[in-house]
Amino acid sequence: MENVWVLAALWVGLALIATLLAIWFKISTALTEIVVGTVAQFVIMAFIGHGGLGAKAGWVTFLAGAGAVVLTFLAGAELDSVIFRTKWKEATVVGLVGFFGPFLGCAAIAHYVLHWGARPSWLAGVALSTTSVAVVYAVMLELGFNKTDFGKAILASCFINDIGTVIALGLIFSPFTLKTLIFVVVSVLVFAALPFVTPRFFHKYGGRVSELEAKYLLFVLFAMGGLAVWAGSEAVLPAYMIGMVLAGTIGKDHILVRRLRTLTFGLLTPFYFLRAGSFVSVPALLAAPLVFVVLFFAKMFSKIVGLLPTVRAFQYQREEGLYYTLMMSTGLTFGTISALFGLNHNIITEAQYSFLVATVIGSAVIPTVIANAFFMPRHLLPKAAKTTKQAQALPLEVLADADAD
Amino acid sequence: MEHRRHTRFQKILIGYDGSEQSEKAVDAAISIARCHDAYVLALAVARPPEPPTSVELEATLDDAREHFEAGLKKVVERAQDQGVTIETDFAVGHPGEQLIHRAEEEHFDLIIVGRRGTSLFQKMILGSVSERVLRYAHCPVMVVK
Which CATH code for domain A60-270+289-377? 1.20.1530.20
- Residues A394, A400: Cα–Cα separation, whole Å: 11
pLDDT of amino acid A386: 40
pLDDT of amino acid B123: 54
Q: Model-level pTM?
A: 0.81
Cα–Cα separations (whole angstroms), residue A368 to A125, A161, A364, B94? 21, 19, 7, 13
Query: Among candidates B92, B95, B102, which has minimal Cα distance to A137?
Result: B92
Which backbone phi and psi does B86 adopt, to 5 degrees?
-120, 130
Pick the residue with more confidence: A197 or A328? A197
Tell me what ipTM this predicted complex has: 0.75
Give A313-363 pLDDT, tens digit per residue.
Answer: 776 666 666 666 777 777 788 899 899 999 988 999 999 999 999 999 888
Give B81-136 pLDDT, tens digit per residue.
Answer: 998 989 999 998 888 888 988 998 899 999 999 877 655 555 554 457 788 788 88
Domain ranges of chain A: 60-270+289-377
Packing angle, helices A118-127 and A333-344, rounded to 10: 160
Q: What is the mean pLDDT of residues A86-100?
A: 86
Is A11 within 8 Å of A270 (Cβ atoms)? yes
Is A365 within 8 Å of B51 (Cβ atoms)? yes
Distance to chain A for B125, nearest Cα, Å: 8
Give A162-178 pLDDT, tens digit per residue.
Answer: 889 888 888 888 778 89
Distance to chain B for A178, nearest Cα, Å: 35
- Give me the helices (H) in A78-148, please: 81-86, 88-112, 118-127, 133-143
Q: Which residues contact A167 (CB under 8 A, 6 or more apart)?
A: A237
Per-chain mean pLDDT for chain A: 83
Is there a contact between B49 and A29 if contact means CB atoms under 8 Å apart?
Answer: yes
Which backbone phi and psi does A52 adopt, to 5 degrees?
55, -130
Question: To the nearest whole percent, how much of chain A has pLDDT over 90?
Answer: 40
Taking 50 as the threshold, does the pLDDT of residue B64 lie above it? yes
Distance to chain A for B73, nearest Cα, Å: 22
Coil, strand or helix: which one is A233?
coil
Lowest mean pLDDT among A13-27, A215-229, A326-340: A326-340
CB < 8 Å to B138, chain A: 383-384, 387, 390-391
Which of A336, A401, A403, A405 to probe the B interface (max B CBs under 10 A)? Answer: A401
Is A212 within 8 Å of A167 (Cβ atoms)? no
3-state secondary structure string across chain B: CHHHHCCCCCEEEEEECCCHHHHHHHHHHHHHHHHHCCEEEEEEEECCCECCCHHHHHHHHHHHHHHHHHHHHHHHHHHHHCCCCEEEEEEECCHHHHHHHHHHHCCCCEEEEECCCCCHHHHHHHCCHHHHHHHHCCCCEEEEC
Q: Which of residues 102-131 of B touch A (CB under 8 A)?
A: 104-105, 110, 122, 125-126
- Residues B133, B15: Cα–Cα separation, whole Å: 10
Confidence of residue A388 (pLDDT cuts 50, 70, 90): very low
Q: Which domains does chain B have, with CATH numbers?
A: 2-144 (3.40.50.620)
pLDDT of amino acid A175: 77
Beta partners for B87?
B41
Coil, strand or helix: which one is A6?
helix
Q: What is the mean pLDDT of residues A298-327?
A: 76
Q: What's the farthest any 2 CA atoms get from each other in chain A?
A: 86
pLDDT of amino acid B5: 55
Query: Among candidates A275, A314, A305, A304, which has minimal Cα distance to A375?
Result: A304
Burial (CB count within 10 angstroms: exposed 0-12, middle 13-18, buried 19+), residue A28: buried
Which of B28, B59, B100 shows the shortest C-beta gap to A380? B100
- Residues B61, A134: Cα–Cα separation, whole Å: 12
Distance to chain A for B58, nearest Cα, Å: 9
Is there a contact between A133 and B54 if contact means CB atoms under 8 Å apart?
Answer: yes
Pick the residue with more confidence: A263 or A220? A220
Q: What is the mean pLDDT of residues A1-17?
A: 89
Taking 50 as the threshold, does the pLDDT of residue A395 lie above it? no
Count CB pairs under 8 A between chains A and B: 148
Question: Which pairs from B75-84 meet CB under 8 Å and 24+ separation?
Answer: B75/B16, B75/B23, B75/B26, B75/B42, B76/B42, B78/B26, B78/B30, B79/B26, B79/B30, B79/B33, B79/B40, B82/B30, B82/B34, B83/B34, B84/B30, B84/B33, B84/B34, B84/B40
